[in-house]
Structure 1
Amino acid sequence: MKRCRPADGSYPSMLGTVAVRVIDCEITIATATGRRTGLYRLIPQDPPAPHAALHFVRDVHPGSGR
């Protein structure tokens, strides 16, 4: 069964027998010493709505996903 990639850029996968969604994102943090940007791969259990990836990133790291 072929699954289509959602418009949010995430994609479904399997981790053993668990359905997961792979979300590649860029997160920038600002501290007193400056800003730092990093690339991260988040792998939550498959959320109920494929378009939820951006909301998931915002929940995990407030201030990101802008």
Structure 2
Amino acid sequence: MPTFSVSIVDPDTKKLLDELQVGEVWVQGPSVAIGYWRRPEYTEEMFRAQLAGENSLLRTVRCQRTPERT
């Protein structure tokens, strides 16, 4: 089964957020889209997001609050 990673990220600092904070939903996995057809600038902005020092993720630009850690 494919492995996916979902992260809640601060869009300004590009760092993972702690629990109960609001940020963008970023997704990484084998079936995530690779970009927009003939729109390289938009693709770069939306699909090449990268956590500080990490692999690239898809930026969904949807806000979500991080869950409580148990």
Q: Same fold (TM over 0.5)?
A: no
TM-score range, shorter chain: under 0.3
Higher relative contact order structure (alpha carbons within 8 Å, sequence separation ≥ 6): 2
Higher helix share: 1
Which structure has the larger Rg?
1
TM-score, structure 2 as length reference = 0.27
